Structure 1
Amino acid sequence: MKTVGFLKTLGSVVAMVVACNVYAQASGPATDTTSAAASVKAGKRANHQLGRKVRGVLAKTQGLDVSNIAVRARGGAVTLTGSVPSQGQIETAGDAAKGVAGVTSVTNKLTVMQQ
């Protein structure tokens, strides 16, 4: 009977040690995941704000039709896609986007709209 009692106690101790070890490992990366998610969220917010700034500058640019222009920002790199009525507007849009604070590069994929 003493052996059975000893084995029950030993089993309980082993179960507690394993449970504590698993809990400690699981709770460590959870804080890293939370901070990584916050970092991703902040990056998306910054990209969205930069895209809005570029879109605003394009809208205020004289002689530029922005109705078919899409702006995408990612880490300071801006991509312009869509179509404009003339070749001159492609260059105007690219130059205007380059002048926005926070823009590190501009990829201009605008095309001339076929009429």
Structure 2
Amino acid sequence: MKSVAILKTLGVALCLSVACSASYAQDESASAPAATTAAPATSAKKADRKLGYTVRKALSKTQGLDVSKLNVRSHGGAVTLTGTVPDQGQIDKAGEVAKGVPGVTSVSNKLTVRVEQ
């Protein structure tokens, strides 16, 4: 009697093991296309971050430009400048410098003049 119960238990354990392995294999194959589509999105984000960093670096090296309250965002080559600068001349200069960075396709200059109190 004990041997029959042990064999039934082993049979059930074997069936569960096979069923779990099969569903795990299906889950991996189903998620494979998602993994391949996530890789380009990750590389695009990395490229955007790198371009934003390059523009920020170029702006910070520009003489006579206060970048302390200036933000740079990029997406697919399009760069957006936001924040405040002390005068209008710096807004124009920041836009020109950003346009001159390799990889920048367009610049949206949303900088404003900071009001000193």
Q: Same fold (TM over 0.5)?
A: yes
Aligned to 1:46: 47
Give the match's secondary structure for 2:107: strand
Q: CA deviation at 1:70?
A: 0.2
**1:18-97 map, 5 Å:** 26-97=27-98
Q: CA deviation at 1:62?
A: 1.1
Root-mean-square deviation over aligned CA pairs: 1.8
82-91 or 34-43, which moves further after superposition? 34-43
Runs of 4+ aligned structure 1 residues displaced above 4 Å come to 22-28
CA distance in 2, matches of 1:89, 1:56: 16
How many residue pairs align between the two structures?
A: 97
Give the match's secondary structure for 1:88: helix
CA deviation profile, 1:84-115 (whole Å, cap 9, x unmatched) = 00000000000000000000000000000001
- Gapped regions of structure 1 (runs ≥ 5): 1-19
TM-score (norm 2): 0.75
CA distance in 2, matches of 1:33, 1:44: 17
CA distance in 2, matches of 1:103, 1:27: 39
Give the match's secondary structure for 1:71: strand
Q: CA deviation at 1:26?
A: 4.8
CA distance in 2, matches of 1:28, 1:74: 31
CA distance in 2, matches of 1:69, 1:105: 17
CA distance in 1, matches of 2:30, 2:46: 24
Q: CA deviation at 1:29?
A: 3.8
Give the match's secondary structure for 2:64: coil
Give the match's secondary structure for 1:52: helix
33-42 or 93-102, which moves further after superposition? 33-42
Aligned to 1:99: 100
